[in-house]
Amino acid sequence: MSINLFDLTGKVALVTGATHGLGMAMAKGLGHAGATIVINGASSKGKLDEAVSEYKSEGLKAFGYLFDVTNEAQVIENITKIENEVGAIDILVNNAGIIKRTPLENMEVSDFEQVLKVDLVSPFIMSKHVIKGMISRREGKIINICSMMSELGRNTVGAYAAAKGGLKMLTKNMATEWSKHNVQVNGIGPGYFATTQTEPIRVDGHPFNDFIINRTPAARWGNPEDLQGAAIFLASKASDFVSGQVVYVDGGILATIGKPANED
């Protein structure tokens, strides 16, 4: 009897911050692999409803819940709602995040703390309250969306790098504590992707576009769909003995020191 190790039929996947962008791309991947998709939004019911409609337009089963991932009371309330209304959460993808580009010497402490709260504390809050059901069922997958900034620094993103570096180590600690309950915890570290946010700088001749193309061995920006395979793998039975790892989907950037701009 053959087994499809990547089949997510019957699974419920909660993906935070999946109303657009890379989060939506990963959630669609999980949905097309068979999972029921649950997404959250923090402020706009209209945007949340539009996103749910987009999922459904592709034939996916999707639900949306409006809550702030940094607010523990709201998280507890909505996880209970999701489990009662949709089903037990089998897969949690901690994708919600923000970035503030400010040199560290000019950054307000409140802005630094906000980035850490969204990018590092909220994955802890979400996981803390989803893991209890996973432990009781002795099965579950948690995927934390890390970054190349989990490994590297870059000008003006010190708070983001601190948070994503912390998230890498939080992922390892979650795996250390929860693998014995048959819950696998891993991360995905995206490289530079073609999104609406990066569209203005993804033009020939733009210094940053040229830098990324030159810096990436694959010689291109990632497409959001490039993240789907890693997400499906880490959410499925195929990764049942993989825990505490960060899979970098970066076109090879972290594998190389780079090359001079004029080198083929």
CATH number, domain at 176? 3.40.50.720
* Residue 202 belongs to a domain: no
Question: Minimal CA–CA distance to 62: which of 72, 71, 51?
Answer: 51
* Residue 6 belongs to a domain: no
* Residue 144 belongs to a domain: yes
Q: Are 131 and 183 in contact (CB under 8 A)?
A: yes
Per-residue pLDDT of the chain (264 residues; tens, 9 = 90+): 457 999 999 999 999 999 999 999 999 999 999 999 999 998 889 999 999 999 999 999 999 999 999 999 999 999 999 999 999 999 999 999 999 999 999 999 999 999 999 999 999 999 999 999 999 999 999 999 999 999 999 999 999 999 999 999 999 999 999 999 999 999 999 999 999 888 988 988 899 999 999 999 999 999 999 999 999 999 999 999 999 999 999 999 999 998 776 776
* Residue 200 belongs to a domain: no
* Distance in angstroms (rounded) separating the CA atoms of residues 149 and 97: 13
For residue 223, the number of C-alpha atoms closer than 13 Å in the C-beta half-sphere is 5
- Looking at residue 35, its pLDDT comes to 98
- Looking at residue 43, its pLDDT comes to 82
* Residue 41 belongs to a domain: yes
Alpha-helix residue ranges (DSSP H) falling in the chain: 21-32, 45-57, 72-85, 109-116, 122-137, 158-178, 207-215, 228-235
**The token pair that represents 104 in the structure block:** 């560290």
- Looking at residue 1, its pLDDT comes to 45
- Looking at residue 197, its pLDDT comes to 81
Question: Minimal CA–CA distance to 15: which of 180, 159, 227?
Answer: 227
* Residue 135 belongs to a domain: yes
* Residue 217 belongs to a domain: no
- Looking at residue 166, its pLDDT comes to 98
* Residue 232 belongs to a domain: yes
- Looking at residue 133, its pLDDT comes to 98
- Looking at residue 2, its pLDDT comes to 59
Please give the residue range of the domain that contains residue 47: 12-193+222-251
How many domains is the chain partitioned into structurally? 1
Single pTM value for the model: 0.96
| Residues designated catalytic | 160
Q: Which residue has the tokens 């039975």?
A: 237
Question: Minimal CA–CA distance to 186: which of 244, 147, 262?
Answer: 244
Question: What 3-state DSSP class applies to 158?
Answer: helix
44 CA to centre of own chain: 20
- Looking at residue 263, its pLDDT comes to 72
Any residues with CB less than 8 A from the CB of 200 and at least 6 apart, and which? none
Q: Are 37 and 61 in contact (CB under 8 A)?
A: yes
